[in-house]
Amino acid sequence: MKPGSPDPTHQVLWNARWLIAPAALLALVAVLGWMTDTPVRSLFPYGIAVGLVSWHHGMKAGFVFAGLGTLAALATGAFPSHEGLRGQELGEGLYTYLKLSAVVVGVTLGKRSRYR
C-alpha cells in the first residue's frame, strides 16, 4: 500500500524503507555479535538483508549490501572461522563476499524470470 501523501520527503522515506530495514538487520546482527561476544557466522541473516535489497533495488545496491554484510561480519569477529585459518581474514572475507554476491545474482535472476 503506497502512501497517500504527496509530500516529497514522505515519498523518499517510503521508497527507502527497503534500504533502511536491511541496514537495520545488519546493524542488529553486528550489535548482537558484539554484545554477546559471539560472532554470527551463519550466512542466513546477512543473506536476508542482501536478498531484500537486491529484490527491491537491483544488482548494484545488492552488491553494495553484500560488501556491507561482509564488513559487518568482519567487525563482529566472524573471521577467522577457526584457529587454523588465523591470518587468512582477507581470503575468508572475499569468500563471504562471493557467497553474498551469489545471493544477489540468484535473487535478481529469480525476479527477472518471475516477470517473464
* pLDDT tens per residue across span 13-27: 667 787 888 889 888
1 belongs to a structural domain: no
Q: 8-40 burial, b for 16+ CB within 10 Å, e for fewer? A: eeeeeeeeeebbeebbebbeebbeebeeeeebb
Of 70, 71, 46, 51, residue with least CA distance to 61 = 51
Instruction: Identify whether 2 is part of a domain.
Output: no
**pLDDT for 25-37, tens place per residue?**
888 988 888 888 8
**83 in a structural domain:** yes
pLDDT score of 2 more than 60: no
The answer to whether residue 81 sits within a structural domain is yes
The count of domains in the chain is 1
Running DSSP on this structure, what letter comes out for residue 84?
A: G
Higher pLDDT, 111 or 77: 111
- Mean local confidence (pLDDT), 65-80: 85
Give the range of the structural domain holding residue 47, as residue numbers without chain letter.
8-114
On whether residue 39 sits in a domain, the answer given is: yes
Mean pLDDT in residue range 35-61: 89
Instruction: Return the pLDDT at 5.
Output: 58
